[in-house]
C-alpha cells in the first residue's frame, strides 16, 4: 500500500493515508514523498471527502474508517484493482510470484532492466538498496511487480496478482502459506491457475521443477515455459562455484554459459537470480549484460541485511516468514561463515506462523544455527515451549523484549553472528540489540 501511495503521488494526486504502527523503511519513504500519514483509523480522516479511497487487504468490515467509507457512499477500490486500471494498462508487466523470494527476485529484475537502460517502473514489497524506494512509474513500458497470492480486499477475495495480467511471469516456488485465507495448498494452486490463465501466448512462464507448479500447469497453460534449476535438463541451469553462492554460472537455453560474482548469499538466491536473468532475457537483455548488474546489486532492506558489526558482532536483519525461508537464510549464513558462532533470534509473526500449522517444521529449519532464541508474542495462542524440548541445540523462549535483548547479547562475542528474523517491527528489537552491543 505504501508503494501504491508513491505511485499515486508520482501521477500527480494528493495522497494521504491511514495506518497503524507503521515502521521504517516504509514510514520514511512516505514522509520523504510528502505523503501525510494519519496514525490509526477514524471517520475524521475522511473529513475532506477524498475523490477515491484505496482500501488495503489488511482492513475488513468493522474497521471504523472502512465503515465510514461505506456509510458516506465514498468511491472506493482495492489497491490491486487501482494499479491494474490506472498504471498497468498498455505496459509489459513482468510479475514475480511464489511463496518465497518475490521481493529479492523482483528487485534483481528491476535492477537488471535499469542497468540495461530500460528504466522500468516497479512495485516491490521491500526497498531495494540500488533504488532507495519501493515503487516508481519508470520511463518506459516495462513494469516489474511483486505478485502476491494474498487476497485482494474484504470485498474481493481473489488473489492480488489476478489484477496484474503479466506478459512475463516468474513462479519462484509454491508452498502452503497464508493459513488465514487458504485452507490448503490446493486452494493456493487454484489461484495460481487463474494467474496462469491470464498470461498471453506471446508471453513466457519461468519456473523451477515443482510438483505443486506442475499441478497448476496441468490444469491449463497456453503460454511457453522455461524451467530453471541445478540440473542439465533445465532450460536455465545454475552452476554453483562456491558453497555460499557468491560465485556461480548460468547456462542459458542456447547452451551458452556466463559466469557471475556477487555479494548475495545462498542457493535460494541463485534460483532468484536465475529467474530474474531469464525474465530480463525475455524482454531483450543479453545474459552477458547481466553480469555487471548482478555484481553491483546491493540487495534489499530487511532481506539478510547487515545492520552493523557492534563490538565485532555481525547483526543481520531478515524478513523470514516461513520455515523454508528460515532454513534457507540460516544455511546461507552458515556456508558463508563456516566455523563462526551463529545465533538466530526469531519472532513467528506471520498469520501462518502464529497459527502453529508449521510448528513441526521449525526445529529442523534452525539446524544451521548454533543457538536459537524465540520470541513468544502475547497474542499467539500456542506455546513455543515444545521447541526448547525438541531442539538438539541450545534454545530458549522469551516473552519480554528487554530480556531477549540481554540474553542475545550475553550469548555472543567478537566474531559471532546474529540473524534476527521477523516480518514486522519486532518491538524495535534490532535497534535495541545494536545499541546494547555498541554500549558494551
pLDDT value, residue 377: 84
Q: Quick one: 217 and 95 in the same domain?
A: yes
> What is the Cα Rg of the chain in Å?
22
211 and 234 fall within a common domain: yes
CB 188 within 8 A of CB 215: no
Which of 277, 296, 315 corresponds to the end of one domain? 296
Tell me, yes or no, whether 73 and 102 share the same domain. Answer: no
Range with the poorest average pLDDT among 239-248, 379-388, 389-398: 379-388
Regarding whether 204 and 254 lie in a shared domain, the answer is yes
Which CATH number belongs to the domain containing residue 220 in this structure? Answer: 3.40.1190.10
Residues 105 and 247 in one domain: yes
CATH of the domain at 364: 3.90.190.20
Domain identity same for 144 and 289: yes
Residue 13 sits in a domain of what CATH number?
3.40.50.720
More reliable by pLDDT, 177 or 30: 30
pLDDT tens for each residue of 376-387 = 888 777 788 877
**Up-side HSE of residue 57: CA atoms within 13 Å toward CB?**
20
User: Which pLDDT band holds residue 196 (cuts at 50, 70, 90)?
Assistant: very high
CB 122 within 8 A of CB 84: no
Averaged pLDDT, 269-295: 97
Burial classification of residue 22, based on how many CB atoms lie within 10 Å of its CB (0-12 exposed, 13-18 middle, 19 or more buried): middle
Tens of pLDDT, residues 224-233: 999 999 999 9
Residues 283 and 159 reside in one and the same domain:
yes
How far apart are the C-alpha atoms of 292 and 294, rounded to whole Å? 5
- Cell numbers representing residue 392 in the block: 538438539
Place of cell 532468484: 272
Residue 72 sits in the same domain as residue 99 = no
Q: Which candidate, 125, 215, 200, 119, places its Cα nearest to that of 166?
A: 200
pTM assigned to the model: 0.83
- Which residues span the domain enclosing 433? 305-439
Q: How far apart are CA 3 and CA 80, in angstroms?
A: 11
Q: What is the mean pLDDT of the chain?
A: 92
Pair 198, 334 in one domain: no
CA gap 332, 143 in Å, rounded? 30
The domain tally of the chain equals 3
Confidence of residue 120 (pLDDT cuts 50, 70, 90): very high
CA distance 372 to 369: 7
Between these two residues, 282 and 426, which has the higher pLDDT value? Answer: 282
> Secondary structure of the chain in the HEC alphabet?
CHHHHHHHHHCCCCCEEEECCCCCCHHHHHHHCCCEEEECCCHHHHCCCCCCEEECCCCCCCCHHHHHHHHHCCCEEEHHHHHHHHCCCCCEEEEEECCCCHHHHHHHHHHHHHHCCCCCEEECCCCECCCCCCEECCCCCEEEEECCCCEEECCEEEEHHHHCCCCEEEECCCCCCCCCCCCCHHHHHHHHHHHHHCCCCCCEEEEECCHHHHHHHHCCCCCCEEEEECCCCCCEEEEECCCCCCEEEEECCCCCEEEEECCCCCHHHHHHHHHHHHHHHHCCCCHHHHHHHHHHCCCECCCCEEEECHHHCEEEEECCCCHHHHHHHHHHHHHHCCCCCEEEEECCCCHHHHHCCCHHHHHHHCCCCCEEEEECCCCCCCCCHHHHHHCCCCEEEECCHHHHHHHHHHHCCCCCEEEEECCCCHHHHHHHHHHHHHHC
What confidence score (pLDDT) does residue 268 get? 87
Q: Which three cell numbers stand for residue 158?
A: 481473489
| pLDDT of amino acid 354 | 66
Residues 263, 117, single domain; the answer is: yes
Amino acid at each position: 500500500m505504501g508503494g501504491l501511495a508513491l505511485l499515486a503521488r508520482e501521477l500527480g494526486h494528493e495522497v494521504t493515508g491511514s495506518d497503524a504502527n507503521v515502521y521504517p523503511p516504509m514510514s520514511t519513504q512516505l514522509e520523504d514523498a510528502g505523503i501525510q500519514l494519519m496514525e490509526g483509523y477514524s471517520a475524521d480522516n475522511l473529513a475532506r471527502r477524498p475523490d477515491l479511497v484505496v482500501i488495503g487487504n489488511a482492513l475488513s468490515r468493522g474497521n471504523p474508517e472502512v465503515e465510514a467509507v461505506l456509510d458516506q457512499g465514498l468511491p472506493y477500490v482495492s489497491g490491486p484493482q487501482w494499479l491494474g486500471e490506472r498504471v498497468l494498462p498498455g505496459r509489459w508487466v513482468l510479475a514475480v510470484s511464489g511463496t518465497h523470494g518475490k521481493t529479492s527476485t523482483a528487485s534483481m529484475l528491476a535492477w537488471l532492466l535499469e542497468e540495461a537502460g530500460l528504466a522500468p517502473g516497479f512495485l516491490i514489497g521491500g526497498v531495494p538498496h540500488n533504488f532507495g524506494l519501493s515503487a516508481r512509474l519508470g520511463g518506459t513500458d516495462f513494469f516489474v511487480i511483486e505478485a502476491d497470492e494474498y487476497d485482494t480486499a474484504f470485498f474481493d477475495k481473489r488473489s492480488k496478482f489476478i489484477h496484474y495480467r503479466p506478459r512475463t511471469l516468474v513462479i519462484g516456488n509454491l508452498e502452503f502459506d497464508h493459513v488465514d485465507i487458504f485452507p490448503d495448498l490446493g486452494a493456493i494452486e487454484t489461484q495460481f491457475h487463474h494467474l496462469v490463465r491470464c498470461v498471453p501466448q506471446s508471453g513466457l512462464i519461468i519456473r523451477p521443477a515443482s510438483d505443486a507448479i506442475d499441478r497448476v500447469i496441468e490444469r491449463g497453460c497456453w503460454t511457453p515455459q522455461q524451467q530453471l534449476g541445478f540440473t542439465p535438463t533445465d532450460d536455465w541451469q545454475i552452476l554453483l562455484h562456491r558453497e555460499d553462492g557468491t560465485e556461480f554460472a548460468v547456462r542459458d537455453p542456447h547452451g551458452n554459459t556466463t559466469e557471475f560474482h556477487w555479494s548475495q548469499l545462498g542457493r535460494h538466491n541463485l534460483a532468484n537470480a536465475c529467474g530474474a536473468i531469464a525474465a530480463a532475457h525475455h524482454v531483450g537483455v543479453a545474459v552477458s549484460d547481466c553480469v555487471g548488474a548482478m555484481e553491483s546489486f546491493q540487495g534489499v532492506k530487511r532481506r539478510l541485511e547487515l545492520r552493523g558489526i557492534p563490538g565485532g558482532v555481525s547483526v543481520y536483519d531478515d524478513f523470514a516468514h516461513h520455515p523454508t525461508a528460515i532454513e534457507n537464510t540460516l544455511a546461507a549464513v552458515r556456508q558463508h561463515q563456516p566455523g563462526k558462532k551463529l545465533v538466530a533470534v526469531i519472532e513467528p509473526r506471520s498469520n501462518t506462523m502464529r497459527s502453529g500449522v508449521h510448528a513441526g517444521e521449525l526445529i529442523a529449519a534452525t539446524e544451521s544455527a548454533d543457538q536459537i532464541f524465540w520470541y513468544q508474542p502475547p497474542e499467539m495462542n500456542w506455546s513455543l515451549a515444545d521447541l526448547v524440548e525438541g531442539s538438539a541445540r541450545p534454545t530458549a523462549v522469551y516473552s519480554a523484549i528487554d530480556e531477549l535483548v540481554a540474553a542475545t547479547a550475553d550469548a555472543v562475542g567478537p566474531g559471532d553472528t546474529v540473524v534476527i528474523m521477523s516480518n514486522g517491527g519486532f518491538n524495535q528489537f534490532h535497534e535495541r540489540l545494536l545499541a546494547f552491543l555498541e554500549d558494551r
